[in-house]
Amino acid sequence: MKKIVFYNTLILFLIIFTFEILLRFFFDITPQGLSKGIINEQSSKPRFNYSNIKDGKVFGKKIFTDTNGFRINKKEKLQNYDNENIYFVGGSVTFGSGVDQSDTFSGILGKRLKNFNIFNASVIGSNLENNYYILKNKIPKENLKKIYINFSLDDILFQEIVQAEENLKKVDESLLNKFKNNQFFLKLNAFIRSKSVMYVWIKGFIFNAEQGYYVHANETYKNPQNINLLKKKLDMIKNYNDDLNNKITFLIIPYSYQIKKNNCKSEDLSEKIIKRELSERKFKFFLIKNIFCENDKKNKIFLSQDPSHLTGYGHQIVADYIEQDLR
């Protein structure tokens, strides 16, 4: 009996191990999560990366930062002080979770455009409000050519909204809510998904993470309070952009669900509101969804079972488009 249990356990382990290896080699799936010591959580304005990181990991990829906290390749390229500077600001999509810095759109452009200094001034978990503080506190105005800010759908989740949601959670004492917010299960989930791509794949497949994240983000645009806060934060950036002589351009990079099947043919609520608010403030912006929808390899643009993070191929598409703008 003990031998049967042993051999069955061994076979199960080998099946899981083989499946894990196959997923890692043949699919664009990465472990999810980040190691400690990357983001300075103590700094509230802005929330940003620690400087001089040498051994961090995000989604299984090694992370390096310079003295400013900007993400760089392992071997930092020396800055040419005669060149104009271009900065990319945003959250985890712009940061490049799941790919090396050299494969992000900022990294690709850095290799192509030798007449500019290009910096990845993004931090995981940033939103529109935090991006404003990055502009104010991390990016010098001297020798500035352009700033690209990625507007992700969930950038509307500001601190005021997050705090309100936390207060609601405290009121909701349901068993399901207690389970979902149990610290042990939260830590266990974070640990497993940072180690196993099979877990990420199965969880994404069962719970349809791509659709779920999109629906949640899009729903936040139905709340008038959220839209009022959006207007307020965009006004702050507009005033700063006026001081910069209109050097800010927004990139509206979609969620993976937005380019599936017939979604390319429709314009959802979040798109309409973002375009309207940016247009009213005369911001220049690029709707990247249109570019992705025209591509005949849509299934290669986003990491597998991931709602928003791009593959190296996805980053290349964005880089190609931005390069046209800069040239």
pLDDT tens digit sequence for 50-87 = 999 998 888 788 999 999 999 999 877 767 778 999 99
In the predicted model, what is the mean pLDDT of the chain? 82
**Does the structure show a pLDDT above 70 at 169?**
no
With CA atoms as reference, report the closest residue to 157 among 94, 253, 234, 226.
226
> Per-domain residue ranges for the chain?
39-158+218-326
Query: What six digits make up the tokens of 153?
Result: 């759908």
Query: What six digits make up the tokens of 250?
Result: 């927004």
Chain mean position to CA 17: 29
Yes or no: domain 39-158+218-326 corresponds to CATH 3.10.129.10? no
Q: Which residues in 273-308 are b (16+ Cβ under 10 Å) and which e?
A: bbeebbeeeebebbbbbebbbeeeebeebbbbbbbb
The pTM is what? 0.80
20 CB burial (10 A radius; 0-12, 13-18, 19+): middle
pLDDT > 90: percent of the chain: 54
Element (H, E) at 179: helix 175-180
With CA atoms as reference, report the closest residue to 236 among 151, 155, 136.
136
